[in-house]
Structure 1
Amino acid sequence: MDDVKFGEILLPGDEDTQSRREQTVRKKFWPTFKKAVRQIPFTRDVVAAFYCAMDPQTPTRVRGVLLAALAYFVMPIDMIPDVFAVIGFSDDVAVLSAAFAMVSRHLQPRHYEAADRALADKPEGMKTI
């Protein structure tokens, strides 16, 4: 996957696009996370990114980038289908990594604290907000 594709995937989008992505991410994040938890090496960061994207104090552009990456993560149709063992989530990991590199300074301690609570309360990643 090249930088041009990352750029296309990680476009923040307009308000309507962000709203649609947020609804999709809210609905599908935890079930997808549960399936991927063993294949993603930075699960705490992924959950913190979820909380950062849902945080109204997060700047709109940052929310947009995170929602784009998380929407790609939860969508069943992507470059490498998630049903393939081992490599299925590799493209998702690449997209999430690129998003983290773009917005990492916006992931606040409160997002990591929420992630830690969610992961401690429900190790399967099924806690809702």
Structure 2
Amino acid sequence: MSTKRIEDVPFEEVHEVQKYGTYYSDNRFWKKVERVAKKVGATVLLPVFTLYYTLQDEKVPVKHKAYIIGALGYFILPVDLIPDGILPVIGFTDDIAVMTLVINLIKDSITPEIKARANGRVAEIMGTDQV
């Protein structure tokens, strides 16, 4: 399976993700995680924390961070294509799709340490030893 490079993604597709960045803030992020963590489980939380911890890494290119902020902004956005509150897990399908797109675009920036932090945080929230 070939990996999309950011340069190969159509501008319209990237622009769509980036426009949600205005909804991102650290405070909103943690409020959303608190509110939905137990309902959605590791399937949603793992990509969320993978992106969050990648965003925190100072070695990640600014271009990648812009995509991450857009994806996390979409996650925080109160109005989705599929409302989160109506069908808890199914309502996050669009969020997962956006996060998966961005993870595929920036996967070269996701280190084993970031993956370990994300897994550890999800396990902590879910009250398990591992994800």
Q: What TM-score does the superposition give when structure 2 sets the normalisation length?
A: 0.69
Matched residues, percent identical? 23
Quick one: which amino acid aligns to residue 66 of structure 2? G
The within-5 A match list for 1:21-40 is 24-34=24-34, 35=36, 38=40
Report whether the alignment pairs 1:67 with 2:69.
yes
Quick one: which amino acid aligns to residue 62 of structure 2? T
The within-5 A match list for 1:107-126 is 107-123=110-126
1:127 maps to which residue? none
Does the aligned pair in 2 maintain the 1:50–1:66 contact within 8 Å? yes
Deviation at 1:27, TM superposition (A): 1.1
Deviation at 1:102, TM superposition (A): 0.9
Does the aligned pair in 1 maintain the 2:47–2:99 contact within 8 Å? no
Does the aligned pair in 2 maintain the 1:40–1:89 contact within 8 Å? no
Comparing 63-72 and 81-90, the one that deviates more: 81-90
In the alignment of these two chains, the number of paired residues is: 115
RMSD: 2.9
Please state whether the residue corresponding to 1:92 is helix, strand or coil: helix
Does the aligned pair in 1 maintain the 2:53–2:117 contact within 8 Å? yes
Match of residue 93, structure 1, among 75, 79, 96: 96
Distance in structure 1 (CA, Å) of the matches to 2:28 and 2:71: 13
Greater gyration radius: 2
